[in-house]
Amino acid sequence: MLYLIGLGLYDEEDISLRGVKAAKNSDVVYIETYTSPWRGRIEKLEEL
C-alpha cells in the first residue's frame, strides 16, 4: 500500500492523526521537502 501523507503547513505538529498512524504502520517512510518549505525538525517527526 502506498500512502501520500501531507505534513501540514508549518511543522511536525500539523500532520494528521491518520497520517501518524499510517506512517507508524509503514515499513519505509520518505519525506520530500524540495517543493515546499517545511519548518519542522526531522528528529521531532521521528519521535511521533
Q: Where are the domains of the chain?
A: 12-47
Q: In angstroms, how far is the first alpha carbon of the chain from the final one? A: 21
pTM of the full structure: 0.75
Residue 7 has pLDDT above 90, yes or no: no
**pLDDT of 10-48, one tens digit each?**
888 889 999 999 999 999 999 888 887 888 888 988 888
Look at residue 24 in the predicted model and tell me its pLDDT: 93
Look at residue 22 in the predicted model and tell me its pLDDT: 95
Check if the beta carbon of residue 4 is closer than 8 Å to that of residue 37.
no
Look at residue 23 in the predicted model and tell me its pLDDT: 93
Look at residue 20 in the predicted model and tell me its pLDDT: 93
According to the 3-state scheme, what is the secondary structure of 1-48?
A: CCCCCCCCCCCHHHCCHHHHHHHHCCCCCCCCCCCCCCCCCHHHHHHC
CA 36 – CA 24 distance, rounded (Å): 23
